[in-house]
Structure 1
Amino acid sequence: MTKSIVTLLFSALLITSCSSTPSRPELYPNQMAKDRGPENSKEDIDECLKEAEAYLKTAEGKKLKDSIDPGSVSTSIGFGFGTGGSGIGLGVGTGGGRSRLSGEEQVRRNFTNQCLVNKGYQVVGWKN
């Protein structure tokens, strides 16, 4: 493979791995989630996320997020080149280590989790 193709593959991988959608909570299918249904549950999640964003803009929210160690998100990218027989292979992979959330994201998630608990939901995790 030529150097330009490797560069193109790397660039495409880097762009797609860096783009992300905002994190959202996943709900445990308890009675509240079943009774409200997926659409109403989504609306409740959206409302709690908006409340969390508003809280982060308050003096108390800013102070709390700034007091948390921001950590870092780590992603590793590795390339493997090999030749075998008459073909040439290129392997590209990404692997994220254990990532630590920023102070802002920790406060956002904690606030949203509590808001949903107050509404009767149970949060099992977060996804992008």
Structure 2
Amino acid sequence: MSRTFLACVVALAVAGCASTRPVLYPNERFNAVGAEAAEHDVEICMELAESAGAQPGNSSAQDAAARTAGGAAVGAASGAVGGAVVGAAGSGSAIGAASGATAGLLHWIFSKPTRSPAFENFVNQCLQERGYQPVGWD
């Protein structure tokens, strides 16, 4: 049972790590080179942005750990308060910590990754210089 749950969490975490990408308007340049070449140019522009120091976003394992730890801290504190009301602060704190950690991790898994505006602007500028028209990010 716990292995199945762990496998599901890992699969969802990997899906949550998928990065967002620019959407290109099918202008003359896009139509002339085709989707495959345009995708290659997107990759090049994203690599250039990273090499220039712009980071794609914070959808990392470090962000997941921070959200999980933050959720555990908030859950422990609120659980201790709730437990103290009924005379079981320790049990309430443990339950709250586990619930908060789970909530933090699930929030990270199902939330969209945050993009860096500098990274997005760099990639957009690079693509525009290559003749493409980026219209947004998905």
Q: Confirm whether residue 47 of structure 1 aligns to residue 38 of structure 2.
A: no
Q: Identify the residue that residue 111 of structure 1 maps to in structure 2.
A: 122
- 13, 30, 34: which one aligns with 2:31: 34
Structure 2 unpaired stretches of 5+:
58-62, 68-103
Query: Partner of 1:76: helix, strand, or coil?
Result: helix
TM-score by length of 2: 0.50
User: What pairs with 1:1-128 in structure 2 (closer than 5 Å)?
Assistant: 5=1, 7-19=2-14, 20-56=17-53, 76=106, 96-97=110-111, 99=112, 101=114, 105-127=116-138
* Counterparts of 2:18 and 2:110, CA distance in 1: 16
Contact 2:20 2:113 in 1 (8 A): no
Change (3 A) 1:123 1:108: same
Query: Partner of 1:123: helix, strand, or coil?
Result: strand
Structure 1 unpaired stretches of 5+:
78-94
Contact 2:27 2:133 in 1 (8 A): yes
Q: How many residues align?
A: 92
More helix by share: 2
CA root-mean-square deviation: 3.4
TM-score by length of 1: 0.53
Change (3 A) 1:43 1:29: same
Contact 2:19 2:113 in 1 (8 A): no
More strand by share: 1
Q: Identify the residue that residue 90 of structure 1 maps to in structure 2.
A: none
* Counterparts of 1:22 and 1:126, CA distance in 2: 10
